[in-house]
A and B are shown apart, each in its own frame.
Chain A
Amino acid sequence: MENMKEIVREYVIAEYVEDDSEIGFDTPLISGGIVDSFSMVSLKRFLENKYNISLPDDEATPEAFDSVNKICNLVNKFLNK
């Protein structure tokens, strides 16, 4: 889980952060304006490819993607299925 958190955090920083903002595991990503909900598709594709899972659209919501911790919870839910 810790490793996954780091991987997701690294991806979020590389993909979305264009200044020196720090991203914690609970930093609000979408409601905090760091990740545009329009740009979520890349994150979803990254998670699906990295963890060999399929995230249904009704689960991959802005709320479920709103922090590194929430993203990891979602991924784990489908990893364990």
Chain B
Amino acid sequence: MAYSDKSRALFTETLTGLKDAGLFKQERFIHSAQAADIEVEFPTGSSLKKVINICANNYLGLSSHPEVVKAAHAGLDSHGYGMSSVRFICGTQDIHKKLEQMVTEFLGTEDTILFPSCMDANAGVFEAILTKDDVMISDRLVHASIIDGIRLCSAMHDTFKHSDMEHLESKLQLHNNRRLKVVITDGVFSMDGDTAKLDEMVKLCEKYDALLFVDDSHSSGFIGKTGRGTHEHCGVMGKIDIITTTFGKALGGASGGCVSGRKELVEMCRQKGRPYLFSNTIAPPIVAGVIKVLEILSASTERRDKLEKNTEFWRNGLLDAGFILKEGDTPIVPVMLFNAKLSQDFSKDLYEEGIYAIGFFFPVVPQGQARIRTQISAGHEMHHLEKALDAFKKVGKKYNILGKTKQEIIDMYGM
């Protein structure tokens, strides 16, 4: 047996270290479909509890939408369960091509290639299009999957301060002699809920002949007047060279992702993108579900409009109650508590009140910036939001943080 007692002890020690540091992650089992109302088993073995979910990426409430579920059923019947092949051998169906064309049209780009996930899209895209003669210049708060993609690429890498355009320009000047320069950002940043300054970034990229890459996973389907994403919101449709996004959040919430953008770059991914070349693509029922999602969103902006109104109600309600929020206007609404233990205690108390929201603390967010990250959905009705708001106020009152400044909260609970 290769797995000796010594090996087991080594891993046990590492896992114990994670527990001691408060970094051990535990799953909570949901016994219902993903929606605003869910039934949760937590702690494991306890009886089911009905709670309101305000921490899902289900921004448009489409994860369990009857039309999407029906379309996925139909896709399963017509195109089967799986492909048992990568795309370029015998793993491409008509519906994969149809979805790629629909995404291209939806995002207003030149071409699209599907990936098993956006994590895979981000992991594969840079290596596929860049060489050691190029440079990647990324915002310091980009998503972990982009960092992994950057690590896998031989091009030089540098960073700029979060959303700091002067700093970005200095980096474009510093690296102006590289063969290709790629500026890399999230569209909406997942932890803070703020939006990239894509209009300014487009201008800088045009000035310094750089490509612009945007991960719009927390934007596609609802940011912008017709929900096309951050590029629509910033008035730069057609000017982003590479967009990656996911179907695992607003766009149905199942799985899958894509690279969409300039046709030559998409073709490079088709020829050289390793997650595309060496793993199966999205399964047929999910493809059929995402096609239905895009049909729904192309027919009406009703859901993103409702999400906008829900978000406004939620932000205003929390601010009026005296909470400190990260500034922004997206459905990601971080309620700042600053202290890690307070964020965990607050989350537990909310759960007791029937509200499911998670506390985030270092190293997921910077030291001293612990928070409850709330995420609003078009699937929330007013009674959900009112009940959640009442619970936040009750728990906020318990910890005496309503109307308090950051410094006052830190003085009470520490960083």
Residues of A within 8 A of B (CB): 18, 36, 38-39, 41-42, 45
Contacts and interface: CB of A to CB of B under 8 A. Distances in A.
Given A36-B159, A39-B158, 11 more contacts: A18-B161, A18-B162, A38-B138, A38-B147, A38-B150, A38-B158, A38-B159, A39-B159, A41-B157, A42-B158, A42-B171
A45 to B, nearest CB: 6
A18 to B, nearest CB: 6
21 contacts: A18-B161, A18-B162, A36-B140, A36-B159, A38-B138, A38-B147, A38-B150, A38-B157, A38-B158, A38-B159, A39-B140, A39-B158, A39-B159, A41-B156, A41-B157, A41-B158, A42-B158, A42-B159, A42-B171, A42-B174, A45-B174
Contacts of A42: 158-159, 171, 174
Nearest to A43: B158
A21 to B, nearest CB: 10
Nearest to B159: A39
Interface residues of B, number: 12
Contacts, number: 21
Contacts of A39: 140, 158-159
A15 B171 CA distance: 11
Interface SS majority for chain A: helix
Contacts of A18: 161-162
Nearest to B158: A41
Minimum-distance CB pairs A-B, first 5: A39-B159, A41-B158, A38-B157, A42-B158, A38-B159
A11 to B, nearest CB: 12
Contacts of A36: 140, 159
A41 B135 CA distance: 11
B320 to A, nearest CB: 29
Nearest to A16: B161
Nearest to B162: A18
A36 B162 CA distance: 13
Nearest to B150: A38
A42 B175 CA distance: 9
B385 to A, nearest CB: 34
A32 to B, nearest CB: 11
A45 B150 CA distance: 19
Of B140, B150, B158, B161, most buried by chain A (CB within 10 Å of CB) is B158
B147 to A, nearest CB: 7
Contacts of A45: 174
Interface string B135-177: 0001010000001001000001111011000000001001000
Interface string B112-150: 000000000000000000000000001010000001001
Nearest to B170: A42
A42 B157 CA distance: 9
Nearest to B161: A18
A42 B167 CA distance: 11
A36 B159 CA distance: 9
B146 to A, nearest CB: 11
A73 to B, nearest CB: 24
A18 B156 CA distance: 23
Contacts of B140: 36, 39
A23 B284 CA distance: 55
Contacts of A41: 156-158
A36 B157 CA distance: 11
Contacts of B156: 41
A42 B156 CA distance: 11
Of B159, B162, B171, most buried by chain A (CB within 10 Å of CB) is B159
Contacts of A38: 138, 147, 150, 157-159
A4 B158 CA distance: 23
B368 to A, nearest CB: 9
Contacts of B150: 38
Nearest to A46: B174
A38 B144 CA distance: 13
